[in-house]
Amino acid sequence: MADAVLGAVLGEAFSQLFETVKDVINKARMFESILTQLQSTLASLVPLVEEIRRLNREVGHPEEEIKSLIKHMKKGTKLVSKCSKISWWNYCMKSQYAGKLSELDEDIGRFFQVDLQAWNARNVLETLARVNAIGENMNLFARNGGMSCAVPGPPEFIVGLDVHMKQLKMLLLNEEVSVLVLTAPAGCGKTTMVKMLCQDMDIKGKFKENIFFFPVSKTPNLKVIVERLFRHKNNQVPADFQNDEDAINQLEQLLKRIEGSILLILDDVWSGSESLIEKFEFHMPNYKILVTSRTAFPRFSFTYKLQPLNDKDAMTLFCHSAALQDGNSSIPDQDIKKILKVCGGFPLALKVIGRSLCGQSAEACHSWVKKWTSGRSSILDSDSDLLICLQKSLDLLDDEVIKKCFLDLGLFPEDQRIPVAALIDMWAELYELDEGGIDAIANLHEITSRNLASLVVTRKVASDVGSYYSEDFVLQHDLLRELAIHQSNQEPIEQTKRLIINITGNNLPKWWTEQKRQPISAHLMSISTDEMFSSSWCNIEPSEVEVLVLNLQTKNYTLPEFVEKMDKLKVLIVTNYGFFHAELGNFQLLESAPYLKKIRLEKVSIPSLCKVPIRLRSLKKISLFMCNIGQAFGNCTIQVSNALPNLMEINMDYCNDLVELPAGLCDIVCLKKLSITNCHKLSALPQGIGKLRNLELLRLRSCTDLWELPESIRSLHELSILDISDCISMTKLPKTIGGLSKLKELHLKGCMRILRSQLPASILDLEQLKLVICDAEGVKLWDPIKELHTGLEIKVAEKDINLNWLPIHDF
- Run of H or E residues at 529: strand 524-529
Q: Quick one: pLDDT at residue 20?
A: 72
Work out the end-to-end distance of the chain between its first and last CA atoms, rounded to an integer number of angstroms: 80
Q: What is the pLDDT of residues 546-580, one digit of tens each?
A: 999 999 988 888 888 889 889 999 999 999 988 88
d(CA 734, CA 291): 57
DSSP 628: B
Query: Does 475 score more than 50 pLDDT?
Result: yes
3-state secondary structure of 798: coil
Extents of the domains making up the chain = 2-141, 162-305, 311-386, 399-477, 491-657, 662-811
Q: What is the pLDDT of residues 403-425, one digit of tens each?
A: 999 999 999 988 788 999 999 99
Strand residue runs (E) in 371-505:
418-419, 454-456, 473-475, 498-503
Q: Max CA-CA distance within the chain?
A: 154
Higher pLDDT, 636 or 427: 427
Q: Quick one: pLDDT at residue 271?
A: 81
Q: What is the pLDDT of residues 280-289, one digit of tens each?
A: 998 888 899 9
* pTM, full prediction: 0.69
Query: Does 90 score more than 90 pLDDT?
Result: no
- Rg over CA atoms, the chain: 42
Contact 109, 50 (CB under 8 A): no
Contact 339, 317 (CB under 8 A): no
Q: What is the pLDDT of residues 305-361, one digit of tens each?
A: 998 899 899 888 888 888 776 555 567 778 888 888 878 888 888 888 887 777 777
DSSP 547: E
Query: Does 612 score more than 70 pLDDT?
Result: no
Contact 371, 445 (CB under 8 A): no
d(CA 345, CA 347): 6
CA distances from 204 to 199, 227, 234 (A): 7, 24, 20
784: number of Cβ within 10 Å: 12
Query: Does 135 score more than 60 pLDDT?
Result: no
Contact 303, 277 (CB under 8 A): no
3-state secondary structure of 256: helix
Torsion of CA 588, 591, 592, 595, to 10 degrees: 140
Q: Quick one: pLDDT at residue 170?
A: 93
Q: Quick one: pLDDT at residue 810?
A: 44
What residue spans of 466-551 are helical by DSSP H?
Answer: 478-488, 510-514
What are the φ and ψ backbone dihedral angles of 127, each rounded to 5 degrees? Answer: -65, -40
The CATH code for residues 491-657 is 3.80.10
Higher pLDDT, 538 or 562: 562
Classify residue 145 as left (phi > 0), alpha (psi -120 to 50) or beta: left
498 bridge partner residues: 524
What residue type is assigned to position 104 of the chain? Answer: L
Q: What is the pLDDT of residues 35-76, one digit of tens each?
A: 677 767 766 666 666 666 555 554 444 455 556 666 767 777
d(CA 501, CA 498): 10
Contact 210, 263 (CB under 8 A): yes
Q: Same CATH topology for 491-657 and 662-811?
A: yes
Query: Does 138 score more than 50 pLDDT?
Result: no
> Among 240-249, 510-519, 714-723, whose mean pLDDT is lowest?
510-519
Q: Quick one: pLDDT at residue 393?
A: 74
Q: Quick one: pLDDT at residue 496?
A: 87
| Homologous superfamily of 162-305 | P-loop containing nucleotide triphosphate hydrolases (3.40.50.300)
Q: What is the pLDDT of residues 97-118, one digit of tens each?
A: 666 777 776 666 666 665 555 5
What residue type is assigned to position 407 of the chain? Answer: L
Q: What is the pLDDT of residues 220-236, one digit of tens each?
A: 778 888 888 887 776 66
CA distances from 308 to 71, 225, 292, 493, 629 (A): 76, 31, 15, 33, 41
CA distances from 436 to 123, 351, 651, 804 (A): 77, 44, 13, 23
For the residues 690-718, what does the mean pLDDT come to?
94
Torsion of CA 220, 221, 222, 225, to 10 degrees: -90
For the residues 370-384, what does the mean pLDDT come to?
68
d(CA 617, CA 638): 14
Higher pLDDT, 222 or 622: 622
Query: Does 147 score more than 80 pLDDT?
Result: no
DSSP 742: T
Higher pLDDT, 588 or 30: 588
For the residues 621-628, what does the mean pLDDT come to?
92
**11-27 vs 67-83: helix axis angle to the nearest 10?**
20
Nearest to 727 by CA among 664, 671, 687, 685: 685
Nearest to 696 by CA among 716, 725, 724, 723: 716
For the residues 665-671, what does the mean pLDDT come to?
92
Q: Quick one: pLDDT at residue 586?
A: 85
Quickly state the pLDDT bin for 809 (edges 50, 70, 90): very low
Q: Quick one: pLDDT at residue 406?
A: 92
Quickly state the pLDDT bin for 133 (edges 50, 70, 90): very low
d(CA 811, CA 804): 12
Query: Does 80 score more than 80 pLDDT?
Result: no
For the residues 725-736, what does the mean pLDDT come to?
92
Q: Quick one: pLDDT at residue 762?
A: 92
419 bridge partner residues: 473
Nearest to 742 by CA among 764, 717, 773: 717
Using CB atoms within 10 Å of the CB of residue 538, give its burial: 0 to 12 exposed, 13 to 18 middle, 19+ buried.
middle
Higher pLDDT, 112 or 658: 658
Q: Quick one: pLDDT at residue 294?
A: 86
Q: Quick one: pLDDT at residue 319?
A: 86
d(CA 240, CA 224): 11
Q: Is the dihedral of CA 435, 438, 444, 446 positive or negative?
A: negative
> Among 96-105, 256-265, 585-594, 746-755, whose mean pLDDT is lowest?
96-105
Query: Does 275 score more than 70 pLDDT?
Result: yes
Q: Count of residues for the chain? A: 811
Q: Quick one: pLDDT at residue 10?
A: 47
For the residues 459-471, what does the mean pLDDT come to?
64
Contact 517, 396 (CB under 8 A): no
**CATH class of domain segment(s) 662-811:** alpha beta
649 bridge partner residues: 621, 673
d(CA 228, CA 280): 14
What residue type is assigned to position 419 of the chain? Answer: P
